[in-house]
Amino acid sequence: MCGIVGYIGHRNAYPVLIKGLHRLEYRGYDSAGVALINPAGQLNIYKAKGKVAELEAFAADKDTTGYVGIAHTRWATHGEPNQVNAHPHYSESEELAIIHNGIIENYSVLKQGLSQHGYTFRSDTDTEVLVQLIEYTKRSAQVDLRQAVQLALNQVVGAYAIAVLDKSNPDIIVAARKGSPLVVGIGEGEYFLASDATPIVEYTDRVVYIGDEEVVLLERDHELDITTIGNVHKTPEIKRLELTLSQLEKCGYPHFMLKEIYEQPRTLTDSMRGRVNVELSHIALSGFIDNRERFLSASRIIICACGTSWHAGLIAMYAIEEFARIPVEVEYSSEFRYRKPVIHKDDVVIAISQSGETADTLAAIQLAKQQGAFIFSICNVVGASIPRVSDSGCYTHVGPEIGVASTKAFTAQVTALTMLALCIGHAKGTMTDEAYLRIIAELNRIPEKIGRVLEQDHAISEFAKTFTYAQNFIYLGRGYNYPVALEGALKLKEISYIHAEGYPAAEMKHGPIALISQEMPVVVIAPRCGTYDKVVSNIQEVKARKGRVIAVVSESDTRVSSMADYTITVPETEECLTPLLTVIPLQLLAYHIAVVKGCDVDQPRNLAKSVTVE
């Protein structure tokens, strides 16, 4: 969380930085700020509470000249989200300015030490402590900025991606990372710096991903210079970006979330491209093929994830246990990492993360790796931290997901995990050839079937208006569609601020049924599958208490539709693939309710897309 961006070169830095901040706003939008060294050598900092647009309004009549600058969009951790706590932060002398993404865990000890040397603090942030420490080190050890950053970071416990400007040397930016992402774009005599490649893509496709505990010196018209915090030189590894600019734009949709919901027929085709081969009747996942024995000998699979990715993990548990007959445990990464879990050398740990940067998931797999487990990751962002520390994995290839509420990443994760379950099951012989071939053929039809669900968007948007009064929602599903109930409820909470709970349908009678009245909308996911009759009984229980039922059913259904107040249909498919269809109307329902309520769909309050703090 928090987005950082920097520029040094021959262009005006301010427009590059502002545009970059807009691209990174998904990482947090509590406040924004920019620091620039102008041609007269002054170091100016402007910051504002709220979104980047507030910063632009604030800086409109200020001096924004300069060919070097850094900027930040914040998701508050230390200190409330006000202007004082916004980044960049000056050092005591106002000679240095810093931006930071991460958390300095030992900041209070460092602060005490600096206070004894006469340093005072304007903000409540851990970041200001770090810039004071760098300044103190620079002066007391009589070293240059890079050395001061190296020495200071040796004293820091925590996570950081930082960039520092020095008024006395306007030809450089010094940046470093540990735990939080940082990428450098290489132009002609100029450098771009950002939390991810989205602010860089329109200027250059040559990038270097900075590694943990590496410090990078960006000097105008000089070669890129990377060292470790222990001052060991590193050779930069230049990579070509595959990202395109059109992937970062709304392309006529009112919100990124709606665009991303509509992209799903294409993104799922992309996720399966080169992997699902219907003619040859097989699935080729290189991450599985290269590590086949590791999967086949696994006595257990542990899945670690957070948020929506955790819901994809739950669906995978159903699929892996059904097809591969390997016991699966699905863990919240944040709990797993701290509860002294029992990990065996023959365990396979699957990390699921859209961003590939979620701090808890990263820490969970590092722990599992130390204890000898094999780490396989399912990620969307190529080159992110989680795939880099994994032994193997599978990218979902859905392109950048910008709406904070995850949609296309979720369906791609479920697709990737289903492919993996089929690969293991087929290789182990725990599923029949007939089932394997049938599901492969059906996977191939899913993009077209999602298209059919999307055709009901208008109807969903119409009845969504009826539910803006609601304070609460219940979502019910069973089997493969129980995690879909959780995901539907999460989508609604995230973007419309309506309290919603997902439940396994049969559990309703153990508590939530007490909440049901004619005020309570109950979304029931009831496609034709093994537990269909049971879910029908659950719907009758809801109707008997006058609850208002919104049902997601198969196209041929008549029983549930006759009981429900509103019905959305999905095409028939294999039971294990139903989540890929049933989740679509729930994404649309949450979207339309949020729009009618006037909520900020793409940037819901208090949330951030990439959670790089624990």
Smaller CB distance to ligand G6P: residue 132 or 180?
180
User: Could you tell me the smallest distance in angstroms from the CB atom of residue 312 to ligand G6P?
Assistant: 9
Q: Measure the CA–CA gap between 145 and 466, rounded to whole angstroms.
A: 60
User: Could you tell me the smallest distance in angstroms from the CB atom of residue 108 to ligand G6P?
Assistant: 27
User: Could you tell me the smallest distance in angstroms from the CB atom of residue 500 to ligand G6P?
Assistant: 15
- Options 149-157, 204-212, 294-302, 604-612: segment touching ligand G6P (CB under 6 A): 604-612
Output DSSP code: residue 357: -
> E strands, 137-275, where?
158-166, 172-178, 183-186, 191-194, 206-209, 214-219, 225-228, 233-234, 239-240
- Options 53-61, 300-308, 461-469, 561-569: segment touching ligand G6P (CB under 6 A): 300-308
Smaller CB distance to ligand G6P: residue 554 or 610?
610
Q: Which strands sit side by side in the sheet containing 206-209, from one edge to the other?
A: 43-49, 31-37, 68-74, 3-8, 191-194, 183-186, 206-209, 239-240
Query: Residue 78 is which amino acid?
Result: H
Output DSSP code: residue 210: P
**Peptide linkage before 387 cis (omega within 30 of 0):** no
How many residues touch ligand G6P under the rule CB under 6 A: the total is: 15
Question: Alpha helix (H) ranges present in 206-306?
Answer: 256-262, 264-272, 286-289, 292-296
Contact pattern from residue 530 through residue 569 relative to ligand G6P, giving x for each residue in contact according to CB under 6 A and a dash for the rest: ----------------------------------------
- In the bound state, the residue with its beta carbon closest to ligand G6P is 307
Q: Does 308 bind ligand G6P (CB under 6 A)?
A: yes
Smaller CB distance to ligand G6P: residue 306 or 423?
306
- Tokens representing 175 are 């940046």
- Options 209-217, 305-313, 417-425, 556-564: segment touching ligand G6P (CB under 6 A): 305-313
- Tokens representing 529 are 């599958």
Output DSSP code: residue 559: H
379: annotated active-site residue: no
User: Could you tell me the smallest distance in angstroms from the CB atom of residue 599 to ligand G6P?
Assistant: 15
Element (H, E) at 375: strand 374-379
- Residues 347-366, interacting with ligand G6P (CB under 6 A): 353-355, 358, 361
CA distances 335 to 103, 305, 338, 376, 483, Å, are 19, 10, 6, 19, 19
- Options 80-88, 176-184, 197-205, 306-314: segment touching ligand G6P (CB under 6 A): 306-314
Q: Does 127 bind ligand G6P (CB under 6 A)?
A: no
Q: Count H helices, E strands: the chain?
A: 20, 27
User: Could you tell me the smallest distance in angstroms from the CB atom of residue 307 to ligand G6P?
Assistant: 3
User: Could you tell me the smallest distance in angstroms from the CB atom of residue 355 to ligand G6P?
Assistant: 3
Strand partners, 71: 5, 34
167: annotated active-site residue: no
Smaller CB distance to ligand G6P: residue 127 or 612?
612
| CB atoms closer than 10 angstroms to residue 470 | 17
- Options 214-222, 303-311, 526-534, 574-582: segment touching ligand G6P (CB under 6 A): 303-311
- Tokens representing 522 are 């109950």
- Options 100-108, 183-191, 589-597, 606-614: segment touching ligand G6P (CB under 6 A): 606-614
Q: Which of the following is catalytic: 167, 178, 491, 609? A: 609
CB contact set of 366 (below 8 Å; sequence gap of 6+)? 389
**From the list 399, 609, 612, 613, which residue makes contact with ligand G6P (rule: CB under 6 A)?**
609
Burial pattern 28-37, b for ≥16 Cβ within 10 A else e, equals: bbbbbbbbbb
User: Could you tell me the smallest distance in angstroms from the CB atom of residue 381 to ligand G6P?
Assistant: 8
Contact pattern from residue 389 through residue 418 relative to ligand G6P, giving x for each residue in contact according to CB under 6 A and a dash for the rest: ---------------x-x------------
CA atoms within 13 A on the CB side of 316: 34
**From the list 309, 396, 481, 554, which residue makes contact with ligand G6P (rule: CB under 6 A)?**
309
Q: Measure the CA–CA gap between 367 and 183, rounded to whole angstroms.
A: 25
Smaller CB distance to ligand G6P: residue 401 or 575?
401
Smaller CB distance to ligand G6P: residue 138 or 408?
408
User: Could you tell me the smallest distance in angstroms from the CB atom of residue 504 to ligand G6P?
Assistant: 21
Tracing tokens 């928090």 back to the chain, one arrives at 2
Q: Does 306 bind ligand G6P (CB under 6 A)?
A: yes
Q: Which of the following is catalytic: 2, 394, 529, 599? A: 2
Smaller CB distance to ligand G6P: residue 92 or 260?
260
Residue 579's closest CA among 525, 501, 505? 525
User: Could you tell me the smallest distance in angstroms from the CB atom of residue 334 to ligand G6P?
Assistant: 11
Smaller CB distance to ligand G6P: residue 308 or 569?
308
User: Could you tell me the smallest distance in angstroms from the CB atom of residue 614 to ligand G6P?
Assistant: 12
CB contact set of 360 (below 8 Å; sequence gap of 6+)? 306, 332, 333, 334, 337, 611, 614
- The answer to whether 420 and 443 are in contact (CB under 8 A) is no
Smaller CB distance to ligand G6P: residue 64 or 309?
309
Q: Does 123 bind ligand G6P (CB under 6 A)?
A: no
* Catalytic center residues: 2, 609
- Interface residues with ligand G6P (CB under 6 A) are 306-309, 353-355, 358, 361, 404, 406, 607, 609-611
